[in-house]
Structure 1
Amino acid sequence: MATVKVGSNLSLQIGKDCHQHGVVTEEIDGLIKVYKDGHVERPQIVPCVTSALAPELGVTSWDIVVDKFTNIWARFYVPNKCHGKLPLLVYFHGGGFCVGSAAWSCYHDFLARLAAKASCIIMSVNYRLAPENPLPAAYDDGIKALMWLKQQALSVGADNRWTTQCNFSNMFLAGDSAGANIAFNIIARLDSFNAGQAAAAMKPLTLKGIILIQPFFGGETRTNSEKYLVQSPRSTLSLAASDTYWRLALPSGTNRDHPWCNPLAKGSVNLEDLMTFPIMVCISEMDILKNRNLEFVDSLGRADKRVEHFVHKGVGHGFQILSKSQLSQTRALEMMSQIKRFISGI
């Protein structure tokens, strides 16, 4: 099983010859700049770190290549002390499909602490980014990661020490922002089969639930929180940034009512036929996506889905990874406890 070292060589770099690329067609200040000739710059706004962790966390982490041809890799987190086999949480990072990495320091810290708190093994998937790889590339990578996991489960007892600690029949999909969108759309793809076919295709993996943290959805019609919620200048997601991410990520010629963006739009997935397992949705009170996320939860409820949601007061989009305020840290601990209860209660 191949491993991969992640460090400065995989960091998001600024091109030294950026002045040579001409007209900028899309830009989110400090995060991404796209030129007319197709060149893309991503400033290293968040440092990329290796898998090393402080010993006192009680978690071991390492990186593994999932698919060398598309450069998909994953970072694993395994608690050092465990009683019996542990649940498996497959996690997708956020970043509007266009930025972000499983090696970002903020995700490394958050997921290491979550693995320790929730007593679970976490596989953090590093998928391909738009606009170089527009959707559905990220969804394809998510499915490929699950198929890779299936092969690991079938080869338990070989040279994979972590697989002996993993309960592959107790698996959850999770993600924040665009990562939550990826988790949801992976389920939509799996459910395009009938339930029996999907379950058979996944064996011996058994999906028990899905955790969506501030899911990144959109739509042509603005919600009240998108129109009127006053954002801090330091907010991690503005309406303008959201629109830019969707223009870069969606297929050419589509708009924000595309089913991948708006699961409630006409022609999108039928929620009544989707997801027979429990769903957890985390919503931030100061997030422009608040109303859209609440509408999504209400629609799941009307479709008789087993859904529970939490509204984290006084914090905004991505607070659990990008804000160092005392309130954000308190809310992040609350979120981890809620995730732990969701995983252990199924």
Structure 2
Amino acid sequence: MAETDNEIAHEFVFFRVYKDGRIVLFYPTAKKIPPSDDPITGVQSKDVVVSTEPPVSVRIFLPKIIDRTRKLPVLLYMHGGGFCMQSAFSRRYHNYVSSLIAEANIIAVSVEYGLFPDRPIPACYDDSWAALQWVASHVYGNGSDPWLNEFSDFRRVFIGGDSAGGNITHTLLVRVAKLGLPGVNIVGAILVHPYFAGTQDDKMWMYMCPENGGLSDPRMKPAAEDLAKLACERMVLFAAEKDYLFNAGKSYAEELKKSGWCGKVEFVENLEEDHCFHLSNTKSGKALELLQQIVSFIKQN
């Protein structure tokens, strides 16, 4: 191998780029597990191909149904992973979303969106938008999925995610505000340790998004006019004290309050905790507390 083949062009938190164009991810690809039924909680799950172009799939979770006449809220969930890692089908996210809906008694649609480098940004945004539109296609009970047709209450839709998924959640709320989503009422948004501009990750995000608008790109640095029109009634945003994304999350919440948005935002600090701690140790007291805070947010009248 020529010496120049090992020359580094860029070094980021999650990957390295060599001058010959090679990209090496620092973390292993998430192992995917199949959907399954939980005999203890009664939660069922299945995978559905939403679109072949772009290639988008989702994992749908259905809680134990006691009253078949009762419609349930719907949560569209976007996983984290720095736009280049993890999966809706990984054990980490399968187990977490399953636990969440068992507690909240809702339907969840967890999105398998495209990841860098195979599919650079904006694939993650476009794929998640395609998944949301697919969910909305069931509003009149004649969509392609029987679970969504029979059990979904489209007057009570939530959108949420952690880390990169929190950032994607913001972009979806902006798109709905601009383009509309007939028949769907987005009640709430859940942002857990979201990524926004103002950190060491900014240059990495711009590299992953070749057609970017620089440091002021509104997908990375939310615009005041977008914040003022976010398409949800309320939001809860979590920020971990030891997370280097803490200030970005706090700034987002503050700017949202000042924007003139007519909704209500709740900012929750996870003291003495680091980024996405609730996923690495789901049984810890603070992780369980965060889960219950999300459940309470969903169940608010």
TM superposition score normalised by structure 1: 0.76
Aligned to 1:300: 256
Aligned to 2:63: 79
Aligned to 1:334: 289
Please state if 1:320 is matched with 2:299.
no
Which letter maps to 1:337? Q
Residue 251 of structure 1 is aligned with which of 191, 195, 210? Answer: 210
Deviation, 1:32, is 4.0
CA–CA distance in 2 between the matches of 1:179 and 1:290? 15
CA–CA distance in 2 between the matches of 1:75 and 1:101? 10
Unaligned runs of 5+ in 1: 1-20, 223-238
8 Å contact 1:130–1:248 — kept in the other structure? no
8 Å contact 1:78–1:162 — kept in the other structure? no
Distance 1:50 1:245, change over 3 A: farther
CA–CA distance in 2 between the matches of 1:158 and 1:247? 36
8 Å contact 1:78–1:120 — kept in the other structure? yes
CA–CA distance in 1 between the matches of 2:171 and 2:197? 14
Which letter maps to 2:107? I
Residue 273 of structure 1 is aligned with which of 221, 229, 233? Answer: 229
Residue by residue over 1:24-43, the C-alpha shift from the partner in whole angstroms, topping out at 9 and shown as x without a partner, is 544557x5454555554555
Which letter maps to 2:265? V
Aligned to 2:75: 89
CA–CA distance in 1 between the matches of 2:266 and 2:249? 12
Secondary structure of 1:170's aligned partner: strand
Distance 1:153 1:40, change over 3 A: farther
8 Å contact 2:157–2:187 — kept in the other structure? yes
8 Å contact 1:64–1:75 — kept in the other structure? yes
Distance 1:37 1:120, change over 3 A: farther
Deviation, 1:78, is 0.8
Aligned to 1:167: 153
CA–CA distance in 2 between the matches of 1:76 and 1:106? 15
Secondary structure of 1:256's aligned partner: helix
Residue by residue over 1:15-54, the C-alpha shift from the partner in whole angstroms, topping out at 9 and shown as x without a partner, is xxxxxx865544557x545455555455535432111254
Aligned to 2:93: 107
Aligned to 1:236: none
Please state if 1:61 is matched with 2:19.
no
Deviation, 1:256, is 3.1
CA–CA distance in 2 between the matches of 1:52 and 1:129? 24
Which letter maps to 1:107? Y
Pairs aligned (count): 295
Please state if 1:204 is matched with 2:183.
yes
CA–CA distance in 1 between the matches of 2:141 and 2:8? 48
Distance 1:105 1:38, change over 3 A: farther
8 Å contact 1:277–1:306 — kept in the other structure? yes
Between 39-48 and 178-187, the greater mean CA deviation after superposition: 39-48
CA–CA distance in 2 between the matches of 1:55 and 1:108? 15
Distance 1:60 1:26, change over 3 A: farther
Distance 1:64 1:313, change over 3 A: same
Distance 1:33 1:190, change over 3 A: same
8 Å contact 2:174–2:226 — kept in the other structure? no
Residue by residue over 1:99-149, the C-alpha shift from the partner in whole angstroms, topping out at 9 and shown as x without a partner, is 121112111111010010111111000111123433322211121112211
CA–CA distance in 2 between the matches of 1:55 and 1:244? 45
Residue by residue over 1:216-237, the C-alpha shift from the partner in whole angstroms, topping out at 9 and shown as x without a partner, is 1013xx6xxxxxxxxxxxxxxx
Which letter maps to 2:236? M
CA–CA distance in 2 between the matches of 1:275 and 1:46? 32
Please state if 1:291 is matched with 2:247.
yes
Q: How many percent of aligned residue pairs carry the same amino acid? A: 30
Which letter maps to 1:205? V
Between 269-278 and 332-341, the greater mean CA deviation after superposition: 269-278
Distance 1:75 1:310, change over 3 A: same
Distance 1:157 1:183, change over 3 A: closer
8 Å contact 2:79–2:110 — kept in the other structure? yes
8 Å contact 1:157–1:164 — kept in the other structure? no
Distance 1:165 1:38, change over 3 A: farther
Residue 263 of structure 1 is aligned with which of 222, 225, 229? Answer: 222
CA–CA distance in 2 between the matches of 1:282 and 1:331? 12
Secondary structure of 2:189's aligned partner: strand
8 Å contact 1:98–1:248 — kept in the other structure? no
8 Å contact 1:61–1:76 — kept in the other structure? yes
8 Å contact 2:206–2:212 — kept in the other structure? no
